Amino acid sequence: MKKSLKLPQKLMLLGSGELGKEFVIAAQRLGNYIIAVDRYANAPAMQVADCSEVISMLSANDLEAVVSKHQPDFIIPEIEAIRTEKLQEFEERGITVIPTAAATNYTMNRDRIRELAHQELGVRTAKYGYAVSLEELISVSEKIGFPNVVKPVMSSSGKGQSVVNDKTEVEKAWNYAIDNSRGDSQKVIVEEFINFEIEITLLTIKQWNAETIFCPPIGHRQERGDYQESWQPANISDDKILASQAIAKKVTDALGGAGIFGVEFFITKDEVIFSELSPRPHDTGMVTLISQNLNEFELHLRAILGLPIPNIQQLGYAASAVILADKKSDAITFTGVAQALTETDVDIRLFGKPTAHPYRRMGVALAKGKDENSAREKASKAASKIKLN
Ligand SMILES: Nc1ncnc2c1ncn2[C@@H]1O[C@H](COP(=O)(O)OP(=O)(O)OP(=O)(O)O)[C@@H](O)[C@H]1O
Ligand SMILES: NCC(=O)N[C@@H]1O[C@H](COP(=O)([O-])[O-])[C@@H](O)[C@H]1O
Ligand SMILES: [Mg+2]
């Protein structure tokens, strides 16, 4: 990392969804120049960036073309589905890839990050196995036991994931995983189903020249493998917070580089179990748009640029609840925004995605409350008022 930082820097964002949009806003506030890239035009982050490019981020040639054209100082992946081998090449040519090119490759493959955490670092994870055919899935499932969770090794936001209760459901889970796998990967992971009390995201900030620091844990609830609501602080013991911080530090140290990571854990009565991590802001971390003095996007930016983070202040009980589409549409309008904003300490983000399909995340409601329940209720109530027409 360069010693004397000059602003503006040229930042290329690979992926331009809702997380990228808030990141671009944070980066613009310090006057940086941002090129927002995604697979479709008018993506959320493109609406606030200096310029944009529509390419296939899985194509090495397309990536080469936009990087040669813009010559960015930093490449900042925002999604997983990127030709990460090409990022390695950019890194070798002197462009800083966030957090590192290797980290993006580890985390886009569930098997690679799992091997790193469990085999190399000895971190506790759910019991797991892999399968590349239905026959193998049947035998691995029996070894792991039921219920278990089957996921494509390459997917995110719960795509292709299912809970398998017994042997009769294995074939359906196999077909679902293969149909929803990213790229042409035919490999699935089977995990022991963890009956957790709560699951959390520990936002972990890895810095170039300062200690790793953490945000207070974020609790969240998922459906279909996708986040529905999150809240901060999550009510877990100090011991478990320290245990999760130690694991997050171990894994992020092994990945290297700088930036924010969303490290996911299952918390049971007696254990802290590592699940996976995002080497970038996390969707459940959108709660920090209302719950902290510096949100996860501002923290990511500061960590990337090597700017100081003197303190992270948590501002009290807060929650986020997602606003999902319930139909297909390419003429997006919303009603109910005024109704959603009637209560104090409630805010809304509508991402500006140009098209909708069922369950696509279109916005998020944010709220503060006197306690966890009140914050969660306020956020969910506000989200429920917003209707996609
Ligand atoms: N082994 C497991 N036991 C119990 N629940 C699980 C297990 N694996 C996944 N889940 C549930 O499914 C959710 C999504 O799983 P996971 O984080 O692995 O998927 P993902 O597709 O990477 O999602 P994202 O990209 O949004 O993080 C988890 O947050 C959890 O609620
Ligand atoms: N769990 C990962 C995650 O939340 N990623 C966020 O969703 C966008 C894709 O949304 P889309 O599928 O609606 O285009 C990504 O670009 C990122 O902002
Ligand atoms: Mg996850």
Predicted ipTM of the assembly: 0.98
**What pTM did the predictor assign?**
0.98
- Is 118 contained in some domain? no
Decide which of 259 and 3 is more confident: 259
User: Which ligand is located closest to the Cα atom of residue 155?
Assistant: 1
Q: For 286-299, how does the pLDDT look when each residue is reduced to its tens digit (9 = 90+)?
A: 999 999 999 999 99
Structural domain including 78 reads: 10-97
Residues involved in catalysis: 156, 158, 264, 276, 283-284, 361
- Is 120 contained in some domain? no
Phi-psi region of 148 (alpha: psi -120 to 50; beta: other; left: phi over 0): beta
For 215, counting Cβ atoms within 10 Å of its Cβ (0-12 exposed, 13-18 middle, 19+ buried), the class is buried
- Is 119 contained in some domain? no
Domain count within the chain: 3
Cβ proximity of 371 and 341 under 8 Å: no
- Which atom of ligand 2 lies closest to the CA of 18? 18
pLDDT value of residue 157:
87
Residues 6+ apart with CB under 8 A from 89: none
CA distance 246 to 250: 6
281 shares its domain with 316: yes
pLDDT value of residue 285:
99
Strand segments, DSSP code E, in 336-375 are 346-350, 361-368
- Check whether 264 is labelled as a binding-site residue: yes
How many Cα atoms occupy the beta-carbon half-sphere of 142 within 13 Å? 7
- Is 301 contained in some domain? yes
pLDDT value of residue 345:
98
Q: What dihedral angle (degrees, nearest 10) is formed by the CA atoms of 222, 278, 85, 298?
A: 130
Lowest model confidence (mean pLDDT) among 16-30, 173-187, 210-224: 173-187
pLDDT value of residue 274:
98
pLDDT value of residue 3:
61
29 shares its domain with 56: yes
CA-nearest residue for atom 16, ligand 2, is 17
With b for 16 or more beta-carbon neighbours within 10 A and e for fewer, the 140-168 pattern comes to bbeebeeebbbbbbbbbbbbbbbebeeee
Q: Is 282 in the pocket of ligand 2 (CB under 6 A)?
A: no
2 falls in which pLDDT band (50, 70, 90)?
Answer: low
Domain termination residue (choose one: 139, 169, 192) = 192
10 falls in which pLDDT band (50, 70, 90)?
Answer: very high
316 shares its domain with 358: yes
Domain termination residue (choose one: 170, 192, 214) = 192
CATH of the domain at 279: 3.30.470.20
Mean pLDDT of 327-335: 96
Q: What is the mean pLDDT of the chain?
A: 97
- Is 103 contained in some domain? no
User: Which ligand is located closest to the Cα atom of residue 149?
Assistant: 1
Is 212's pLDDT higher than 80? yes
Mean pLDDT of 176-184: 89
- Is 322 contained in some domain? yes
250 shares its domain with 312: yes
| Nearest CA among 286, 293, 295, 277 for reference residue 361 | 286
CA distance 378 to 322: 12
CA distance 256 to 324: 35
CATH of the domain at 44: 3.40.50.20
233 shares its domain with 329: yes
- Check whether 85 is labelled as a binding-site residue: no
138 shares its domain with 270: no
Pairing of strands 259-267, 272-278: antiparallel
Q: For 109-132, how does the pLDDT look when each residue is reduced to its tens digit (9 = 90+)?
A: 999 999 999 999 999 999 999 999
CA distance 49 to 241: 36
CA distance 357 to 354: 11
Distance in Å, CA 367 to ligand 1 centroid: 25
Two structure tokens written together for 182:
């990213």
Cβ proximity of 44 and 19 under 8 Å: no
209 shares its domain with 336: yes
- Is 108 contained in some domain? no
80 shares its domain with 39: yes
253 shares its domain with 346: yes
Mean pLDDT of 80-92: 96
- Check whether 221 is labelled as a binding-site residue: no
Q: Round the CA-based radius of gyration of the chain to a whole number and report it.
A: 20
pLDDT value of residue 4:
83
CATH of the domain at 185: 3.30.1490.20
| Look-up of token digits 């090409």 | 86
- Which atom of ligand 1 lies closest to the CA of 80? 25
184 falls in which pLDDT band (50, 70, 90)?
Answer: confident
203 shares its domain with 251: yes
Question: What is residue 197's three-state secondary structure?
Answer: coil
| Nearest CA among 77, 115, 108, 73 for reference residue 183 | 108
Question: What is residue 157's three-state secondary structure?
Answer: coil
Mean pLDDT of 342-357: 98
- Is 380 contained in some domain? yes
Q: For 129-173, how does the pLDDT look when each residue is reduced to its tens digit (9 = 90+)?
A: 999 999 999 999 999 999 999 999 999 889 999 999 999 999 999
Reported as type and span, the H/E element at residue 333 is none
Please, what is the Cα angle at 282 between 130 and 199, to 5 degrees? Answer: 65
Distance in Å, CA 69 to ligand 2 centroid: 26
Q: What is the percentage of the chain residues whose pLDDT exceeds 70?
A: 99
User: SS3 breakdown of the chain: % helix, strand, coil, rounded to 5?
Assistant: 35, 25, 40
Q: For 34-50, how does the pLDDT look when each residue is reduced to its tens digit (9 = 90+)?
A: 999 999 999 999 999 99
Domain termination residue (choose one: 153, 175, 192) = 192
131 shares its domain with 217: no
Is 1's pLDDT higher than 80? no
15 shares its domain with 148: no
